[in-house]
Structure 1
Amino acid sequence: MHTLLIALFGSFLVSTGTGWETDFSKAQQSAQSEHKLILLNFSGSDWCGPCIRMHKEIFEKNSFSDYATDHLVLVNADFPRLKKHELSKGQQEKNDKLASRYDIDGVFPLTVLLTADGKILKEWKGFPSVSSEEFTNQVKAVVDANK
């Protein structure tokens, strides 16, 4: 039983990606207290091919994750379709509220760089046509301009 719980917890960490917050209010508090910007990503983790690619080819690469650890608060607003990945009602409501504010066109993936108070600084619609390193440089340029 103990091994099963460890395996389940480990797969949860892999599937959600360590370092990603799902509560935007908590992310705002962290960003405020740590003087960081928020990177909000809207994804469909079990149906959106470009979203899955974005996490694997951009966010999970060291060039991005190393930078993000020190400079960003990461938020994932996931919209899975499969019943087995269904979010809690509360989480779905939080994600819907974020989408009504930042992703009204329903673009997936959509990545938004925000101030702690929610002001949009930059958006990336769809899968970026750049490497993880170049994407990180684009984020860094906005972070540096807002210090």
Structure 2
Amino acid sequence: MKKITFIIALLITTLGFSQEWKSDIEEAKAQAAKEGKNILLVFSGSDWCGPCMKLDKIVWKSEIFKTESEKKWVLVKADFPKKKGNVLSPELTASNNRLAEKYNKSGNFPLVVLLDNTGRVIGMTGFKNVSAEEYVKIINALLK
């Protein structure tokens, strides 16, 4: 019984700290407008881009980023995997391609774009080999 209680508590804690990365920019705009937040759009190559994987491990999964993002941003990820086992649906691939046409014409990976709730670009940054805390500061500095 103690094991079951522990597992349930662990799941609830884990779910409480998980982020919700959206793939639909229109849904993100609606949520951002409703909550008074900006949108953080991340272009990633999750299975081939070394810096993308490092950002995911060090920044996106960090508690400091999770806490900050809950307060300030609606998160959108446009992923461009290359391995056969990670192929996205045709609809999601098309949606990510439309986002890239609008916000990442030069095809930079990773690219982090801060948008207002209408989709207007506030600022952009890429990979920086810094701590999660420093990277959050870099994102916040885009507002200035």
TM-score normalised by structure 2 residue count: 0.83
Output the CA distance in 2 between the equivalents of 1:112 and 1:53: 17
Aligned to 1:37: 38
State the percentage of identical aligned residues: 39
Quick one: distance in 1 between partners of 2:73 and 2:132?
Answer: 15
Within 5 Å, which residues of 2 pair with 1:19-30? 19-30=20-31
Higher Rg of the two aligned structures: 2
How far apart are the structure 1 equivalents of 2:82 and 2:47? 7
Per the alignment, residue 56 of structure 1 pairs with 57
Aligned to 1:67: 68
Provide the secondary structure at the position in 2 that maps to 1:40.
Answer: strand
Question: CA shift at 1:129, angstroms?
Answer: 3.0
CA distance in 2, matches of 1:142, 1:78: 22
Shift of 1:142: 4.2
Distance 2:123 2:130 in 1: 16
* Distance in 2 between residues matched to 1:23 and 1:60, nearest whole Å: 21
Cα distance between partner residues in 2 of 1:81 and 1:129? 24
Query: Whole-Å Cα distance in 1 between the matches of residues 93 and 20 of structure 2?
Result: 20
Whichever residue aligns with residue 128 of structure 2, its letter is: P
1:128 equivalenced with 2:96 (yes/no): no
Give CA-to-partner distance per residue, 1:27-53, whole Å, 9 cap, x none.
111001111000000001111111010
The one-character-per-residue Cα deviations of 1:114-136 (angstroms, maximum 9, x if unpaired) are: 001111111012x1132210111
Distance in 1 (alpha carbons) for counterparts of 2:85 and 2:34: 36
User: What is the alpha-carbon distance in structure 1 between the residues aligned to residue 21 and residue 38 of structure 2?
Assistant: 13
CA distance in 1, matches of 2:96, 2:118: 17
RMSD: 1.6
Check the 8 A contact 2:40/2:113 in 1, yes or no. Answer: yes
**TM-score normalised to structure 1 length:** 0.81
Distance apart, 1:71 and its partner CA: 1.1
